Amino acid sequence: MEALTLDSTEKILLVTTGILFIIQVIYYLCLYNRIHARNRVVKRGDTHFSQELPPISVIICAREESENLRRNLNAVLEQDYPQFEVIVINDGNTDESEDYLTLLEDKYPHLYHSFVPDSSRYISRKKLAVTLGVKASKYDWLVFTDAKCLPQSNQWLRLLARNFTSRTQIVLGYSGYERGKGWLHKRVCFDNLFNSMRYLGFALAGSPFMGIGRNLAYRKELFYEQKGFSAHLNLQRGDDDLFINQVATPENTRVETDANAIVRMQPVFRAKDWREEKIGYASTARLYQGVQRWLAGLETSTRLAFYGAWIAMLVIGILNFHWLAAGIAFFIFLLRFIMQAIIINKTAKDLEEKRRYYFTLPVFDLLQPVQSLRWKLYCVFRKRSGFLRK
């Protein structure tokens, strides 16, 4: 009968594991399941969309990206949309981007391009490029993406535009990666999917706090009301996430989750490139206003604590031959794993991600917060000048 009993330590661990499990369930059902729940509502026809298609200015900032422009720009220029312009701000003149854009303008009269002056130093070059694009735009609605991003269909702009209601000022979209091979790519894809489930989930829950400029739309008047990027002009980054953090409200923000409204990037081949991108976002995340940053941190903390509690309970139960304690610990882990697998993989399917997460899920689930801590430590120990304008 001793094998079916629990000592005081095991009881404490059981209560702790149970509480942490309940917290995790709340996060998954109320936050991370939002994209899938949203798509179900849309399929039932229970969502109000605008029928108007206002003219759009698409702004693309490119830095020495002639290959990406050749690969992706045509898909943007050939969108099935009644009236739009595409503005490419070219930063750098050491590749063939300028010549290619000049030739392309002869074929596409709605394409316009300009450049970032080499002598610019008073603002980060990316923010200056965005500002130049906004000032050159003719229309009220601005759509932002990157030269490395490829729209998944010619309905991309139409699907974003159906969210342009009278009250809407911001529309957030999803950006993913094309299918690739290798452990690094798997890590990057899971991290991107999970973070998107988080920040888009907050927006769908009525608490938007950031956006990513690879698939983002907002009204021009919003940019001018905030005086552009004046609030964080000294930072190298912040042209997307910090700006949206300043202006987004539950009333003015909508999310587009249709698979045909996705843009995708080529797989990441160098860990250094991904690391620099994540460090960049980590450097601005500490400046986010609102409780969402702390709520996200609470989820990460309870996730790590959950792993520690159930593993400790499992190990102690096995060492003491208390099979009831070990069985309960494993059962709680299994319940959370099943819930995770269902929600994450249904969301991945909705977003037409080619990869599914089953056997790798516990590994990535534990690795993701460890990586997040790593990026934050990089920010702490890197020189402050590394995050200022260049």
> Could you read off the pLDDT of 147-181 as tens digits, one per residue?
999 999 999 999 999 999 999 999 999 999 998 88
User: Which residues, at least 6 apart from 5, have a Cβ–Cβ distance to it below 8 Å?
Assistant: 322, 324
The confidence score (pLDDT) of residue 384 equals 53
If you compute the radius of gyration of the chain from its CA atoms, what whole number of angstroms results? 23
For the chain, which residues make up each domain, given as ranges? 2-33+293-379, 46-276
69-90, pLDDT tens digit by residue?
999 999 999 999 999 999 999 8
Q: Mind listing the pLDDT tens digit for each residue in 213-266?
A: 999 999 999 999 998 888 787 777 778 899 999 999 999 999 999 999 999 998
pLDDT tens per residue, range 91-137: 866 668 888 899 999 899 999 998 887 765 556 778 888 999 999 99
HSE-CB for 221 with a 13 A CA cutoff: 4
Encoded amino acid at 210, one letter: M
Task: Quickly name the fold that domain 46-276 has.
Answer: Spore Coat Polysaccharide Biosynthesis Protein SpsA; Chain A (3.90.550)
Alpha helices (H) in 205-322, listed in sequence order: 220-225, 241-247, 271-285, 292-319
Tokens found for residue 229: 């990027």
Q: Give the helix/strand (H/E) hosting 100.
A: helix 97-107
For residue 302, the tally of other CB atoms under 10 A from its CB is 19
Q: What is the Cα 133 distance to its own chain's centre?
A: 23
Number of other CB atoms surrounding residue 33 within 10 Å: 21
d(CA 357, CA 306): 20
